[in-house]
Amino acid sequence: MTGGAGFLGSHLSEKLLALGHEVLCLDNFYTGTKKNISHLLDNPDFELIRHDVTFPLYVEVDGIFNLACPASPIHYQRNPVQTTKTSIHGAINILGLAKRTGARVLQASTSEVYGDPAVSPQPESYWGNVNPIGIRACYDEGKRAAETLFFDYFRQYQLDIRVARIFNTYGPRMAPDDGRVVSNFIVQALQNKDLTVYGDGSQVRSFCYVDDLVDGLISLFFTESIYEPINLGNPTPINMKELAQEIIALTGSKSQITYLPLPSDDPITREPDITKARKLLDWEPKKSREDGLKTTVSYFQETMK
């Protein structure tokens, strides 16, 4: 698993170990941390290697989850050239490894391949509306190019691929400084600081609790012959002003809401159509946003003591 020490990778590693698999975790610790997987290091079925996927890797595996890439704007815009390299060179190296070993390989793609969509909710058939020269393009276009590589390897080499388009995900082990809206709001609320809403707060997102997302990834990986992208996310939308109000109420915070200009190319809506996931994987999120946010708030309360 590349990116195995990240927020999502650490939860996925835990679940795979619980299912009886051996996990080889790769991470260069650009955004992942050893703290996320420290409780797994004594497990004889878990192995950690410091490695950057922009360089080739020579190991023997029978399954690959390619999660390596900074996923929050503050992190992927800090070094946009490296972000693009991670998506494209990383995909080439991981696909080469899968081709040599005959391993099934899953690409953690993103809802950002849809850009600022003119269609909502977004089905997998939608080609997107991405600015190829904008400040988010290093991530958006990098992930789109990675998908291209995956499907070309499937067509040219009959590689056993899976592609998951992951929508906004939250839960314990999010980094407090990652710039994502849920972690931003919770940290600000717990510190009784103003919650920073960009634009007028009407932009819409859909938030999936990490355990549900992990179940979706595992279901996609182990379901036979799904050679098409699959949306994974929670289809229940909420706008940013409402989310801020929910988190203030959940934390009992004295915070107010402050409005700042909307960042360049920030999508107005992000809402998955999960019809295919329901039909092909028998999967849909189970945890309510209220319950998920309560668990996440409790995590931040403990880590911020």
Distance CA 285, CA 55 (A): 35
Q: What is the pLDDT of residue 21?
A: 98
**122-158 pLDDT, tens per residue?**
999 999 999 999 999 999 999 999 999 999 999 999 9
Q: 305: burial class by Cβ within 10 Å (0-12, 13-18, 19+)?
A: exposed
Q: Give residue 272's pLDDT band: very low, low, confident or very high (50, 70, 90).
A: very high
Question: Considering 30, 76, 139, 209, which one is annotated as catalytic?
Answer: 139
Q: Say what the pLDDT of residue 179 is.
A: 84
Please give the Cα distance from 227 to 100 (Å, whole number): 20
Task: Reply yes or no on whether 227 is catalytic.
Answer: no
Contact 186, 171 (CB under 8 A): no
- pLDDT tens digits, 89-115: 999 999 999 999 999 999 999 999 999
pLDDT at 263 over 90: no
Output the six-digit token pair for 73.
């704007």
Reported as a single tens digit per residue, the pLDDT across 168-218 is 999 999 999 888 999 999 999 999 999 999 999 999 999 999 999 999 999
Residues 218 and 238: their CA atoms lie apart, in Å, by 26
Residue 54 three-state SS: coil
pTM of this structure: 0.96
Integer Cα distance of 23 and 46 in angstroms: 5
What is the per-residue pLDDT across 26-82, written as a single tens digit (0 to 9) for each?
999 999 999 999 999 999 999 999 999 999 999 999 999 999 998 878 878 888 999
Mean pLDDT along residues 274-285: 98
